[in-house]
Amino acid sequence: MKNITILGSTGSIGVSTLEIISAHPDRFRVVALTAGKNLELLVRQIKQFAPRIAVVASQDDVPRLKELCSGLDVTILGGVEGLIAAATADETEMVVAAIVGAAGLVPTAAAIRARKDIALANKETLVTAGHLFMDLVAEFGVRLFPVDSEHSAIFQSIEGHRNEDIQKIILTASGGPFLSTPASQLSTVTVRDALNHPNWNMGKKITIDSATMMNKGLEVIEARWLFNTPVEKILVNIHPQSIIHSMVEYVDGCVIAQLGTPDMKAPIAYALAYPERVTTGVRPLDLTSFSGLTFFNPDIEKFRCLGLAYRAISAGESMPAVMNAANEIAVAEFLEGRIGFTRIAETIERTMDAHTPHHLRSIDEVLKADLWGRESAREICKEMGY
């Protein structure tokens, strides 16, 4: 029986994780759940999985959650302190880090210091503070399992192989909803258009990142740290069918790929049960049903965010944290209808142009760089308007 804390249990990754746990009650037990604002769903999860601890992001929501959980044997906490308590609970063995954005930094770091294994679904943790987190992982001897489908695919494709034999890591990308949309038309797309992903069912922020291809840029940075591979060896291929989730090319010319039906329950289950595999309910892949699998290079001029991510990791230091912060603000402004779709990349680029990279020596310094990026991006968004 593995005891698990889920940071972000009401998001798409958290919900899928609980589906896996529900299907295998003899293997997994929930110790703690944390959520943002979706109290109703959190309460249903508390009633079903009986965690010892439940956490809501805002202290202001604690009284309401306590009222909704009246009569239940659960400790209700709030804020960053609550997240840390959930991530470091004594009986927890693995923390599923599924909080979207930089908010996952502090509790995930606390979990590592408490020697909890990490199933990482939060890209921003490694994007903003990659060297710090990998140093923590090494210092405290914890295991870090990627949950992103692409990184899980790479993880599975390098099992049993030497890192020095890797020639290239090839991340695949669906291309999102605007793969065939001319660049000249992107300025007029709506929020509804951008949320209409062709293959994956994800949260709003991640879906917009897919539409701009920033998600793939974040994954490039994440892969650089997860697999200790120079960014020059990490490539992106557009693969609209989303059947091959990523590939690894070796020095002998061989390529190993991981294939599967697009469903996040598969990589989640692999992380939870590693090194074993468990049933997931994911539909088995039938390659005979496909007329073909296609691959081509991304259009960096059209999907500017991907190029900005490569620029950020090449600059290093504090630049990825600033880029990520600017992206979070720009995506939020777009979702609220205050800036247009193409302004997302413009906001990020202008924020990066205004920043001088500096070395980050602690999580506090990462958070300061994140705050600077957010404040700068907000000002830029105010200037440009819709």
Predicted local confidence at residue 386, as pLDDT: 57
Domain boundary among the residues 142, 161, 193 is at: 142
Say whether pLDDT at 129 is over 90: yes
Residue 353 lies in a domain: yes
Residue 203 lies in a domain: no
SS3 content of the chain, % helix, strand, coil (to 5): 50, 15, 35
Select the more confidently predicted residue: 176 or 319: 319
Domain boundary among the residues 89, 113, 142 is at: 142
Contact 149, 266 (CB under 8 A): yes
Average pLDDT, the chain: 94
Domain boundary among the residues 91, 123, 142 is at: 142
Range of the domain at 382: 316-386
Say whether pLDDT at 199 is over 80: no
Select the more confidently predicted residue: 100 or 376: 376
Question: Would you place residue 384 in the very low, low, confident or very high pLDDT band (cuts 50, 70, 90)?
Answer: confident
**Buried b or exposed e, range 231-257, using 16+ CB within 10 angstroms:** beebbbbbbbbbbbbbbbbbeeeeebb
pLDDT in tens, 203-242: 788 899 999 999 999 999 999 999 999 999 999 999 999 9
Name residues whose C-beta falls within 8 Å of residue 79's C-beta, 6 or more positions apart in sequence: 57, 58, 59
Least confident among 142-156, 262-276, 278-292, 341-355: 278-292
Residue 10 lies in a domain: yes
Calpha distance 364→373 (Å, rounded): 14
Total domain count, the chain: 2
Residue 281 lies in a domain: no
pLDDT in tens, 16-65: 999 999 999 999 999 999 999 999 999 999 999 999 999 999 999 999 99
Average pLDDT, integer, range 285-294: 89
Average pLDDT, integer, range 372-383: 96
